[in-house]
Amino acid sequence: QVQLVESGGGLVQAGGSLRLSCAASGRTSSINTMGWFRQAPGKEREFVAAVAWSGGSTNYADSAKGRFTISRDVARNTAYLQMDSLKPEDTAVYYCAVDRSSYTKLSPRPGNYDYWGQGTQVTVSS
């Protein structure tokens, strides 16, 4: 089992920045990919970004490219999502998730992830 705790959400004005953190505990040796997803009211959960725990390669949704940066600190068992130039449409609950499989590395599909955090609210005002 891997436990995930997100932090760093909040209220920010359009154009501002936030950095989300996701701290992992438990069987962290099983982590292959850490991903960030988001879900706005009435919408499906959507992929934002993913980072390979070994090597640090990344994958981004088109909506995140050029504005968001995903990173990880393996020694601290923590992943980060730096979000810049935020827009009102970025408003959502943001979740981090872990994929244990090396076959679905950097997957954008929520169904490929095994463990999820409780989410942190990000609200961007116009």
Does pLDDT of 14 surpass 90?
Answer: yes
Render pLDDT for 27-60 as a digit per residue (tens, 0 to 9): 999 999 999 999 999 999 999 999 999 999 999 9
What integer pLDDT is reported at residue 72 of this predicted model? 97
Contacts made by residues 38-43, CB under 8 angstroms, sequence distance 24+: 38/90, 38/92, 38/93, 38/94, 38/95, 38/122, 39/92, 39/93, 39/95, 39/119, 40/91, 40/92, 40/93, 43/92
How high is the pLDDT of residue 103? Answer: 87
Q: Considering only 24-28, 100-104, 114-118, which range has the smallest mean pLDDT?
A: 100-104
